[in-house]
Amino acid sequence: MLTYVIRRILILIPMALIISFLVYLGLELTPGDAVSHMISPEMMASISAERLDALRVSLGLEQPFIVRYWIWLQGMLQGNFGYSTAGGVAIHAILADRLPATLELSAVALVFSTIFGCVLGVISALKRGSTTDNVLTVTGMLGVSIPEFFFGLVAILIFALKLQWLPVGGRLLPGYDSYWDHLPHVIMPALVLSIMMTAGVMRYARSSMLDALSKEYIKTARSKGLPEWRVNLLHGFRVALTPVIVLIGFRLPVLIGGSVIIEQVFQWPGVGSEFISAVRSQDYPLVMMIALLSVMAVLTASLLVDILTALIDPRVRLDK
């Protein structure tokens, strides 16, 4: 197992390299550059090409693509994440600012959706065909099919604008001393994100649970005279858990990348909304850093999923 983990971690390096190069290439292929974003088209028309080039030189944008990539990569390897092209802010500072915001939302959503998704999915499977199951299934379908932004806007309309129970968005306001001041801001985006994610987990848990319950060992467990809860949870759910863990594992990157749409709708200053603006302004170093973080998060999550499945399913052996 240890050799496997080490090998997997070593694979991360070339993967990250390749993906970072592809992202850089993708940025390069989009029209315009950081300078064309800084200056509006009207103004661009009255500025001489020499002045624009001077600005490009000062931002290091005049170098050929490969050279810029190489410079960026060198910086990365030395632990220097670089500075945002647009505002010159150190990227680690930007991320240090944004990551907690994103984590706050997505951690809540991840925990919430895991617990409720599993519980509801199991209930749904155990009461298969009942009204409860039908209601949950329909709700789950709605949950996975309604776009996040719509759900978010409706929530804002009802709870913030009509009922005025919760703020419309944002994360911090002046004069917030404690976490409690800020808690009302977390509730709605976290719940909306949670409910959307819960729907997926629930549907997954239900079908996985149904699959497990149809297995012969469930009958064996009953034939031993075990109580139903033990049959369903220890024998049914324990086995059904493996695919659910995989699903949840692959959602871990949300912790880093954030939910772009939810962050936009709720004016949440997280990594997701930062990424959008960075892409818009072609802020290479910032885009690259966030992309790289997300890539690492995805790769790490898949490694974690592998390790977790090996831990919970004795049939899985990682060394082979």
Binding interface with another protein (CB under 8 A): 31-33, 36, 38-47, 49, 51-52, 54-55, 57-59, 83-84, 86-89, 94, 97-98, 156, 160-161, 164, 167-174, 215-217, 219-228, 230, 235, 238-239, 264, 267, 269, 273-274, 277, 312-315
Rounded to whole angstroms, what are the CA distances from 208 to 137, 201, 247, 296?
14, 10, 11, 28
Q: Which residues are CB-neighbours of 273 under 8 A, at least 6 positions away? A: 258, 260, 263, 264
Q: How far is the CB of 187 from another protein (least distance, A)?
A: 15
CB nearer to another protein: pick between 117 and 270: 270
Distance CA 220, CA 126 (A): 17
Q: How far is the CB of 223 from another protein (least distance, A)?
A: 4
| Backbone φ and ψ of 83, nearest 5° | -125, 145
Q: How far is the CB of 24 from another protein (least distance, A)?
A: 17
Question: In terms of C-beta distances under 8 Å and separation of at least 24 residues, what long-range contacts does 184-191 make, across chains too?
Answer: 186/104, 186/105, 186/108, 188/152, 188/155, 188/156, 188/159, 188/160, 188/266, 189/105, 189/152, 189/262, 189/263, 189/265, 189/266, 189/268, 190/104, 190/105, 190/108, 190/109, 190/112, 191/112, 191/155
Alpha carbon 278 to its chain's center: 17
CB nearer to another protein: pick between 46 and 78: 46
Q: How far is the CB of 245 from another protein (least distance, A)?
A: 12
Q: How far is the CB of 317 from another protein (least distance, A)?
A: 10
* Residue whose pair of structure tokens reads 């939302």 in the numeric block: 105
CB nearer to another protein: pick between 97 and 300: 97
CB nearer to another protein: pick between 171 and 203: 171
CB nearer to another protein: pick between 79 and 314: 314
CB nearer to another protein: pick between 10 and 176: 176
Contact 69, 21 (CB under 8 A): yes
Q: How far is the CB of 136 from another protein (least distance, A)?
A: 18
